[in-house]
Chains A and B, each alone.
Chain A
Amino acid sequence: GDSVTQMEGPVTLSEEAFLTINCTYTATGYPSLFWYVQYPGEGLQLLLKATKADDKGSNKGFEATYRKETTSFHLEKGSVQVSDSAVYFCALRLSGYSTLTFGKGTMLLVSP
Chain B
Amino acid sequence: EAQVTQNPRYLITVTGKKLTVTCSQNMNHEYMSWYRQDPGLGLRQIYYSMNVEVTDKGDVPEGYKVSRKEKRNFPLILESPSPNQTSLYFCASSLSTGQGASVQFFGPGTRLTVL
Contact = CB atoms under 8 A, between A and B. Distances in A.
Q: Interface residue tally of chain A, by bracket?
A: 10 to 19
Contacts of A93: 101-102
A106 B33 CA distance: 22
B43 A102 contact: yes
Highest count of chain B CB atoms <10 Å: which of A32, A99, A103: A99
A49 B40 contact: no
A103 B55 CA distance: 24
A45 B106 contact: yes
Contacts of A98: 31, 33, 48, 50, 94, 96, 101
B107 interface: yes
Contact of B103 (A43, A46, A99, A104): A46
Given A98-B48, A102-B43, A43 B109 contact: yes
Interface of A: 32, 34, 36, 42-46, 49, 51, 89, 93, 98-100, 102-105
